[in-house]
């Protein structure tokens, strides 16, 4: 099946620093990538949708200047949390879908990145 | 009303038991429905899609009631490995995103 990787899997940083998370589709071309955030005991919340080569579409309430998304190729999308604060500590998960993966809703999820901001 | 609502549980059942999870959604125009499984600190994985006619995959049966905006998942002959959080997921009206419920936690014990 389609494989999506994320790096790093866990990151601890100081408040005020920026953190970049990478999401890669390893064996298929991802025309669309999604970024989610999940707080403990909460549901996955979609942050933004990105299509290769175009600007990401952010969900209401998600600051685009704080969460920078780049989808420069069909296999790589990055999420940069700028000037991270403790309230940004969460589990960030990306998913990818593409022509080879079937329907738009057949999203393949990365293993997630746990961000802890001190 | 939340877009997708589930009973959070936890459901604690013995091996071999049959357990049912329910889910309701608020947008009557939703067109696609799924159950995902998420293990602790792991990514969610698609368990099965849900069709109006109902569908079965081994020990798992999913049902959709559009009139009541209600989705269910039935697990028969529970196994220890079924212990996880089950997420009810609905595609948005535009067909561009998935909306996740908070999940129902199942714990199967021997």
Going by the DSSP 8-state scheme, the letter that residue B45 receives in this structure is E
Which of A3, A35, A43 best probes binding to B when mutated, by most B CB atoms within 10 angstroms? A43
Gap between the Cα atoms of B46 and B35, Å rounded: 6
Please check the confidence at residue B72 and state whether its pLDDT lies above 90.
yes
Write down the pLDDT at residue B19: 97
pLDDT of residue A53: 80
Q: How far is CA A58 from the centre of its chain?
A: 12
- Per the CB < 8 A criterion, the answer to whether B34 and B98 are in contact is yes
Minimum distance, in Å, between the CA of residue A14 and any CA atom of chain B: 22
pLDDT of residue B90: 92
8 Å CB contact of B32 and A105: yes
Asked whether residue B63 carries a pLDDT value surpassing 70, the answer given is: yes
Do the Cβ atoms of A112 and B41 come within 8 Å? yes
Span B36-45, mean pLDDT? 90
**Residue A73 CB neighbour total at 10 angstroms:** 13
- Comparing B108 with B46, the larger pLDDT belongs to B108
Average pLDDT over every residue of A75-97: 95
């Amino acid at each position: 099946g389609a494989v999506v990787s994320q790096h790093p899997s866990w990151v601890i940083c100081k408040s005020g620093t920026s953190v970049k998370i990478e999401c890669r589709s390893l064996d298929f071309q991802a025309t669309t990538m999604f970024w989610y955030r999940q707080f403990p005991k909460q549901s996955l919340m979609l942050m933004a949708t990105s299509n290769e080569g175009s600007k990401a579409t952010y969900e209401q309430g998600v600051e685009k200047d704080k969460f920078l998304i780049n989808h420069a190729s069909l296999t790589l999308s990055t999420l940069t949390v700028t000037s991270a604060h403790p309230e940004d500590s969460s589990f960030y998960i990306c998913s990818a879908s593409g022509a080879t993966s079937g329907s738009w809703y057949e999203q393949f999820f990365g293993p997630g990145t746990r961000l802890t901001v001190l | 009303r939340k877009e997708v609502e589930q009973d959070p549980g936890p459901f604690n059942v013995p091996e071999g038991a049959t357990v049912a999870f329910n889910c309701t959604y608020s947008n009557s125009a939703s067109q696609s429905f799924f159950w995902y499984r998420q293990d602790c600190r792991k990514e969610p994985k698609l368990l099965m899609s849900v069709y109006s006619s109902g569908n079965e995959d081994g020990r798992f049966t999913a049902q959709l009631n559009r009139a009541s905006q209600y989705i269910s998942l039935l697990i028969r002959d529970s196994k220890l490995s079924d212990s996880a959080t089950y997420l009810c997921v609905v595609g948005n009206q535009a067909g561009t995103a998935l909306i996740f419920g908070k999940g129902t936690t199942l714990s199967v014990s021997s």
